[in-house]
A and B are shown apart, each in its own frame.
Chain A
Amino acid sequence: MFGRSRGWVGGQGKSKNIHSLDHLKYMYHVLTKNTTVTDHNRNLLVETIRSITEILIWGDQNDSSVFDFFLEKNMFAFFLNILRQKSGRYVCVQLLQTLNILFENISHETSLYYLLSNNHVNSIIVHKFDFSDEEIMAYYISFLKTLSLKLNNHTVHFFYNEHTNDFALYTEAIKFFNHPESMVRIAVRTITLNVYKVDNQHMLHYIRDKTAVPYFSNLVWFIGSHVIELDKCVQTDEEHKNRGKLSDLVAEHLDHLHYLNDILIINCEFLNDVLTDHLLNRLFLPLYVYSLVSQEQSEDRKINPQVSLYLLSQVFLIIHYQPLVNALADVILNGDLSVFMPQTEQNTHKSSSSAAVRRFTKPPESLERSLEMSRHRGRKKAQKRPNYKNVGEEDEEERGTEEGPDEEKEKAKGTEASSKASRTSGDTEEIEMVVMEKCKISDVSTLTEQNITDEEKTAAAAAGMEGQRSRPFLDMVYNALDCEKEDYHALFVLCLLFAMSHSKGINPELLEKIQLPVPGQERSSYSHVLVERLIRVMNHAALPDGRVRLATLELSCLLLKQSVLSGSRCIIKDVHLACLEGAREESLHLLRRFYKGEEIFLDMFEDEYRSMTSKPLNVEYLMMDASILLPPTGTPLTGIDFVKRLPCGDVEKTRRAIRVFFMLRALSLQLQGEPETQLPLTRPEDLIKTDDVLDLNNSDLIACMVVSKDGVQAQRFLAVDVYQMSLVEPETKRLGWGVVKFAGLLQDMQVSGVEDDSRALNITIHKPTSNPHAKPVPILQASFIFADHIRCIIAKQRLAKGRIQARRMKMQRIAALLDLPVQPSSEVLGFGQSSSSSSSSSTSQLPFRFYDQARRGPAFASVDKVPGFAVAQQRSSSLSSSSSITAQSDSISTSGMSTHTTPVPAAPLAPSLTPAAQPTISLLSDTNTDSLSVDSLTLLPPADPPCLRRFSRDEAAPADTDARTTPDLKSAEDRKDILAAPEEHGTYTTREKDKPDHPDSEPAKVSEPDVTSRSREKVETEISAPDPEENLDLEQETEID
């Protein structure tokens, strides 16, 4: 688009070889003939300048004489001359593009030096372009950026003039630090960082003495203004409408922090001290920290506490520069409001200045003006500005001009090439002096702690001894942990504490003083205040209508672990552990309410486990999300991630209850040093995998042809295991053994008939996914063709039944986890499947080992006795039993609530919250059950270990019709347990009396009298089941056809 209309210069035929010295000479000729820009020659000049660029780059790459000519004729001067004629945008843009290209593409250092000599470049930098033109602005700032990328210890001398104290590249660039165009601001930041990176003492001294205060004070004001806008955005938000804008403002704040951090990690102490001073005393303390405690109506209050907590967390997560973050943390953890008061005793004469200290105020003049003033200051010393900057600055300046340079020059001689890391101590001291003086003005230990001497330490200790000094900030932080109504503030507090405890810049002693958890530190005590509050958060999270988000809970768990785990030891006090157990118990009760026989529950249960373990909370990412700045909401329509909002609807409430349970369970186990043996329900290492070799003697195998979607055929044997179906090939070496070619979970399988082929089945197995929105990915999608339709039906039933059974068994394990009486699931087991019932009971006890047995024994036996029964059975059972269970478990939890939850909010150590060891885990192994009964059964809710045991008794029972009735009775008895629970729940003693009856259950006891009317109904439904069942089966068949 550019060239089409402009190509006429080349069109004149003078460009036989555009890239040659001759052509450059011709261009030179054109320039000399057109020294004045007019409307007529403008186009010609632009094309000439453009061509010169091209030739120069070509020359740099191919022919050095080109550059010589350019320099010899001082052609750069022509450029300047043209520029100064106010020749208009068109020419300006071309010149800037040329300069960009020149400095970007020049590869020879000598060429670069040539270009930079004569100060022409500096003249161009200070030229007053029309910066209102966005294109000129963009080219100009890119030009500066390109130049800054060329800066090093040698080239810096072309830009920084020691004698005149000029550094146009830097001072011109920073004038745009708050330009409305983001790309320009980014370029400015790049330029400054490139400058600070150059290790040149003189230049850096200049930066500090002449520019640092104006620049940093304006920068800090700019950041603070954004923060206030951000706060306003939060305040004025309705219905989360400001989320888009808010997330930009948050990202902007993060950009600023990262920028500050990038400056600080260059580790130029010169600048860091000035920057730290400004950040602390003009931004973080007066704006962020002060807002934590100031009254709402107070004029001083700038932002809301939740915003300031959020922003402070970001500060600690991103910035680790010790003098800064340590001082900041010290004020938050130890400081009081005196930090913000002028210190009268110390400096009456300087009171005006100290009053200005620690205020978030607008710099009295623009950066541009400040720079202007500072440049002229050397000449007009008398003219002093009446502003806060004078105080520190003049001291500095005097140093800078009087003793500074001399000292520096001496040093410079010796340590010209000294690396940044080893800046001479003299320098450091000098700066420190300046800073210390400032500190004196402004009181407090903030900055002094960067180099604590022994005296200071004792002094600090003494200060600590002063006793119950008020700590308003810390108090606020702890108080905000209250989640009774909502966890809006609590989440931020947790993040802040987490960020502080993980900060590399904070002195561990500082944290230890108030017993904040430092990860990986040995310790013997912890902060009771904090731990109790954390446990209270957990208690609230476990309440049915708790307003605690999952992220909050997860963070509380993290912090609690950090607090009470010292190395591998857990130092938690019994009373706290008991409270925690109370919360865990509560979460168990909560989850019971949602426990249903429905298929989806199992899937949710496993999904939640997967997504919780695969995506542990990342606090840094959490704190990058602006959406948590708005009050917690429940609706997923906001697009806010599930863990960062409250649940919406029953499914999400279930998911939430599951997660709360997982988290508290994991926490409880870890604190008690017990391994997790029950979760996940399926461990990958326990599953049959491809290429496993199995003993399939006595297993039921069905030969089939597997035709995958892409038409590949294979002869396989179908075997159905407890949790999996597998396709095997005969093992060549051992008779009766098979090699697994494919294995998939039965629970994720879908089987359907094939329309026009009664011998074939379509089978799909989906990969379990933790993302509910992701499309399920099939790991198997194939049609299975059997020898005849009988075998086909058998296979279908076996798979269908296997699926139900696999799911049922997992549900039973969940029930066991929840201390629910294990549903005997007589429906499936009742078919005389002794072998699988054995495996299911052993599953409950030895969850991961049943495969060995299953594989050894005739695992696949006797599935096909009652064709089509299983499917319908399952349906009827889910119709009848699940609904009743729900009702019952509801009543349980209501009763549970009455006994457990009411005291919770009142006191953290409510006696009802202190049951001892928890039964769930121990329930499942006999030894533990025994030990339990000794010390803690008095407090146990109906645990029903006997159910499990009785179950294992079934193992021995013959698989006949008896087996079918016993479980029914048992189920009745189990239900009775549930029914009984509401009355008995509060009074555990009665339960305890029951206890002895249960173990080694005599079947006689569990008989007619115990069967409630409800369970009779149940039995009836079961008996009548075959009827609808057949119908259903028929229906299914017709569907298939």
Chain B
Amino acid sequence: MAYAYLFKYIIIGDTGVGKSCLLLQFTDKRFQPVHDLTIGVEFGARMITIDGKQIKLQIWDTAGQESFRSITRSYYRGAAGALLVYDITRRDTFNHLTTWLEDARQHSNSNMVIMLIGNKSDLESRREVKKEEGEAFAREHGLIFMETSAKTASNVEEAFINTAKEIYEKIQEGVFDINNEANGIKIGPQHAATNSTLSGGQGGQQAGGGCC
């Protein structure tokens, strides 16, 4: 339960690119990817360790709220990291990246770390967007880039953790104002460690405190 920092992420991108599946894949390892099951979730949290520090990632999917300007605006503002996802088998989802990025840049705080993710890398045969294109787009816009597959869980871990590392580095550099929760970063509760000792131990936050 105890964490040094909490980072809030949002996931953005066209519908159907696999955002909620990525989210579930990363936040809950118990849901093993299976070929005949597509399953996702709109919210998830998970503890990771960076530099010996426990860091909790809270990921919010923004799907379905695009019609309200106030909502998208607020979401962007409240996040420290954003995963911008497209589907490598659908060219149009790649073409829409610019719009997504503009939106994100306009509403978010300037320090938000954005990671570009080409999802569904398992479907190599149906690929429409070359990896190089994704790389080029990321380079051009100063994003981190990775191809993932929520189906095979390939690179999913890395995508989220690399984003977290980047945020962490920014904190170390003093770029992020960590005392300002509006940035999507929270400092962990000081004494949480001593309070939740009853059952779970270190097995992840799900197992954390079985006591309330």
Residue numbers of A with Cβ under 8 A of B are: 1-7, 19, 39, 42, 46-47, 50, 54, 57-58, 61-62, 88-90, 92-94, 97, 100-101, 104-105, 130, 133, 135, 138-139, 142, 145-146, 149, 182-183, 185-186, 189-190, 193, 244-245, 248, 251-252, 254-255, 258-259, 261-262
B16 contacts partner chain A, Cβ-Cβ < 8 Å? no
B28 contacts partner chain A, Cβ-Cβ < 8 Å? yes
* Chain A proximity mask over B22-63: 1 for CB below 8 Å, otherwise 0: 001001111110101111111101111000000000101000
Q: Say whether B210 contacts A42, CB under 8 Å.
A: yes
Q: Say whether A6 contacts B68, CB under 8 Å.
A: no
Partner of A186, one of B24, B28, B37, B71: B71
B15 contacts partner chain A, Cβ-Cβ < 8 Å? no
User: Can you list 23 A-B pairs, Cβ within 8 angstroms, ordered by A?
Assistant: A1-B203, A2-B206, A6-B207, A19-B37, A50-B31, A62-B36, A88-B209, A89-B211, A90-B207, A93-B206, A104-B20, A130-B212, A139-B43, A142-B42, A182-B78, A183-B58, A183-B60, A186-B78, A189-B71, A193-B71, A244-B177, A258-B73, A259-B74
With most chain B CB atoms within 10 A of its CB, the pick from A6, A47, A50, A252 is: A6
Contacts of B24 in A (CB 8 A): 101
B180 contacts partner chain A, Cβ-Cβ < 8 Å? yes
Partner of A2, one of B46, B58, B77, B211: B46
* Chain A proximity mask over B174-204: 1 for CB below 8 Å, otherwise 0: 0001001110000000000000000110011
| Residue in chain A with minimal CB distance to B49 | A1
Q: Say whether A186 contacts B75, CB under 8 Å.
A: yes
Q: Say whether A182 contacts B74, CB under 8 Å.
A: yes
Q: Say whether A244 contacts B180, CB under 8 Å.
A: yes
C-alpha spacing A193/B69, complex, angstroms:
11
C-alpha spacing A138/B47, complex, angstroms:
15
| Residue in chain A with minimal CB distance to B77 | A251
Contacts of B212 in A (CB 8 A): 88-89, 92, 130, 133
C-alpha spacing A62/B209, complex, angstroms:
36
Minimum CB–CB distance for A220 against chain B, Å: 16
Q: Say whether A145 contacts B209, CB under 8 Å.
A: no
Minimum CB–CB distance for B59 against chain A, Å: 10
C-alpha spacing A245/B179, complex, angstroms:
10
Minimum CB–CB distance for B24 against chain A, Å: 7
C-alpha spacing A19/B180, complex, angstroms:
45
Minimum CB–CB distance for B42 against chain A, Å: 5
C-alpha spacing A39/B199, complex, angstroms:
9
Interfacial residues of chain B within 133-179, with CB under 8 A of chain A in the complex: 177
B70 contacts partner chain A, Cβ-Cβ < 8 Å? yes
With most chain A CB atoms within 10 A of its CB, the pick from B68, B78, B181 is: B68
Minimum CB–CB distance for A229 against chain B, Å: 13
Q: Say whether B43 contacts A142, CB under 8 Å.
A: yes
Number of inter-chain CB pairs below 8 Å? 153
Minimum CB–CB distance for B173 against chain A, Å: 16
Given A5-B203, A183-B78, A258-B73, A54–B37 Cβ distance below 8 Å? yes
Q: Say whether A5 contacts B78, CB under 8 Å.
A: no
C-alpha spacing A142/B212, complex, angstroms:
21
Minimum CB–CB distance for A85 against chain B, Å: 12
Q: Say whether A135 contacts B45, CB under 8 Å.
A: yes
Contacts of A185 in B (CB 8 A): 74
Known contacts A1-B48, A4-B204, A5-B207, then 11 further A-B pairs from the complex at CB < 8 Å, ordered by chain A residue: A3-B28, A6-B206, A39-B199, A89-B208, A100-B43, A101-B41, A139-B43, A142-B43, A248-B182, A258-B70, A261-B70
Q: Say whether A4 contacts B203, CB under 8 Å.
A: yes
Smallest CB-CB A-B distances: 4 pairs: A258-B70, A3-B29, A142-B43, A5-B203
| Residue in chain B with minimal CB distance to A97 | B41
Minimum CB–CB distance for B44 against chain A, Å: 8
Contacts of A105 in B (CB 8 A): 38-40
Contacts of A94 in B (CB 8 A): 206
With most chain A CB atoms within 10 A of its CB, the pick from B41, B78, B181, B211 is: B41
Q: Say whether B64 contacts A149, CB under 8 Å.
A: yes
Partner of A182, one of B43, B46, B47, B181: B181
C-alpha spacing A193/B71, complex, angstroms:
10
Contacts of B180 in A (CB 8 A): 244-245, 248
Partner of A255, one of B45, B46, B58, B70: B70
Residue numbers of B with Cβ under 8 A of A are: 8, 20, 24, 27-32, 34, 36-43, 45-48, 58, 60, 64-65, 68-71, 73-75, 77-78, 177, 180-182, 199-200, 203-212
Contacts of B28 in A (CB 8 A): 2-3, 97
Minimum CB–CB distance for B74 against chain A, Å: 5
C-alpha spacing A189/B41, complex, angstroms:
20
C-alpha spacing A149/B61, complex, angstroms:
13
Given A2-B28, A3-B30, A4-B203, A259–B70 Cβ distance below 8 Å? yes
Contacts of B205 in A (CB 8 A): 135
Minimum CB–CB distance for B26 against chain A, Å: 10
C-alpha spacing A2/B68, complex, angstroms:
34
Q: Say whether B39 contacts A57, CB under 8 Å.
A: yes
Minimum CB–CB distance for A540 against chain B, Å: 33
Contacts of A146 in B (CB 8 A): 42
Partner of A262, one of B29, B40, B42, B70: B70
Partner of B46, one of A1, A46, A58, A262: A1
Q: Say whether B30 contacts A190, CB under 8 Å.
A: no
Contacts of B208 in A (CB 8 A): 89-90
Contacts of A190 in B (CB 8 A): 65, 68, 71
Contacts of B207 in A (CB 8 A): 2, 5-6, 90
Q: Say whether A104 contacts B204, CB under 8 Å.
A: no
Q: Say whether B209 contacts A262, CB under 8 Å.
A: no
Given A2-B46, A135-B45, A104–B40 Cβ distance below 8 Å? yes
Given A58-B37, A183-B78, A186-B74, A100–B42 Cβ distance below 8 Å? yes
| Residue in chain B with minimal CB distance to A6 | B30
With most chain B CB atoms within 10 A of its CB, the pick from A1, A57, A258 is: A1
Q: Say whether B210 contacts A88, CB under 8 Å.
A: yes
Partner of A1, one of B40, B47, B77, B78: B47
C-alpha spacing A261/B69, complex, angstroms:
9
Minimum CB–CB distance for A896 against chain B, Å: 43
C-alpha spacing A148/B191, complex, angstroms:
36
Minimum CB–CB distance for B62 against chain A, Å: 9
Contacts of A186 in B (CB 8 A): 71, 74-75, 78
Q: Say whether B70 contacts A89, CB under 8 Å.
A: no
Given A4-B203, A255-B73, A89–B210 Cβ distance below 8 Å? yes
Q: Say whether A262 contacts B182, CB under 8 Å.
A: no
Contacts of A4 in B (CB 8 A): 29, 203-204
Q: Say whether B203 contacts A58, CB under 8 Å.
A: no
C-alpha spacing A4/B47, complex, angstroms:
13
C-alpha spacing A90/B208, complex, angstroms:
8
Contacts of B69 in A (CB 8 A): 258, 261-262
Q: Say whether A90 contacts B210, CB under 8 Å.
A: yes
Contacts of B37 in A (CB 8 A): 19, 54, 57-58, 61-62
Minimum CB–CB distance for B7 against chain A, Å: 12
Minimum CB–CB distance for B40 against chain A, Å: 6
Contacts of A244 in B (CB 8 A): 177, 180
Q: Say whether A2 contacts B29, CB under 8 Å.
A: yes
Q: Say whether A189 contacts B30, CB under 8 Å.
A: no
C-alpha spacing A88/B196, complex, angstroms:
12
Contacts of A39 in B (CB 8 A): 199, 210
Minimum CB–CB distance for A178 against chain B, Å: 14
Q: Say whether B42 contacts A104, CB under 8 Å.
A: yes
| Residue in chain A with minimal CB distance to B196 | A89
Contacts of A138 in B (CB 8 A): 43, 45, 58
| Residue in chain B with minimal CB distance to A140 | B43
Minimum CB–CB distance for A725 against chain B, Å: 30
Minimum CB–CB distance for B149 against chain A, Å: 18
Partner of A6, one of B39, B42, B74, B203: B203
C-alpha spacing A46/B46, complex, angstroms:
17
Q: Say whether A61 contacts B36, CB under 8 Å.
A: yes
Q: Say whether B200 contacts A90, CB under 8 Å.
A: yes
Given A142-B43, A251-B182, A90–B34 Cβ distance below 8 Å? no
